[in-house]
Amino acid sequence: MTEAAEGMVADADAATLLAIESIKQLKARYCRHLDAKDWAAWRTVFTDDFVSDTAEAGGKVIDGADEFVAFTRKALGRPGQATAHQVHAPEIALTSATTAHGVWALQDVVRFGPGLTLVGYGHYHETYENISGQWFIKSSKLTRLREDIVTPVFSLYVSDRLRRAIGRLANVVMKP
């Protein structure tokens, strides 16, 4: 390979790594703003046409970033309802100069009320779009490996069947 060709490859590799790092920073802001309940800042990580799919985890599909933020705010935004979302081991690949996809390992903790906490494990499967030099989350699908309900008295593993039933109940309760 010529020196010029090697330089072009190095530049392309550097650009790819910079894009991947930008997506990692984007996902870090997603978690921080969500757990801080900073809904306006959290909205800025999504494209306007964002799609959330939590159907396999007992939830539903929500089209539109504004709709998703409003739904999540209603579900997780009560005072004293602490959450902690931690993502790890990203697998990110650029699919073009302005698109990418990624998979993140997830562990989250959601306090539903005094003495009732969900500890969940799973993955986010996401797509990203670069608009005017900035990366955004375009779609996110949540899959669950395990959910545990933890109380001061006992801990309960939530089976797939129970998770689906809880999801159906939550959808009924959360309807406007």
Q: CB–CB of 121/106 below 8 Å?
A: yes
pLDDT, one tens digit per residue, over 30-48 is 999 999 999 999 999 999 9
The answer, yes or no, to whether residue 92 has pLDDT greater than 80, is: yes
Q: CATH number of the domain at 82, please.
A: 3.10.450.50
- Reference 52, options 77, 36, 69; nearest CA is 69
Q: What is the mean pLDDT of residues 51-56?
A: 97
Measured between alpha carbons, how far is 44 from 40 in angstroms, rounded to an integer?
Answer: 7
Question: What domain range includes position 134?
Answer: 3-174
9 band by pLDDT with thresholds 50, 70 and 90: very low
Number of domains in the chain: 1
Is pTM beyond 0.95 here? no
Question: Which residues are paired to 12 by β-bridges?
Answer: none
Other Cβ atoms closer than 10 A to 13 = 10
Report the C-alpha gap between 119 and 84 in whole angstroms: 9
pLDDT tens profile 107-154: 999 988 778 899 999 999 999 999 999 999 999 999 999 999 888 776
* pLDDT at residue 170 in the model: 74
**Percentage of the residues of the chain whose pLDDT score is greater than 90:** 68
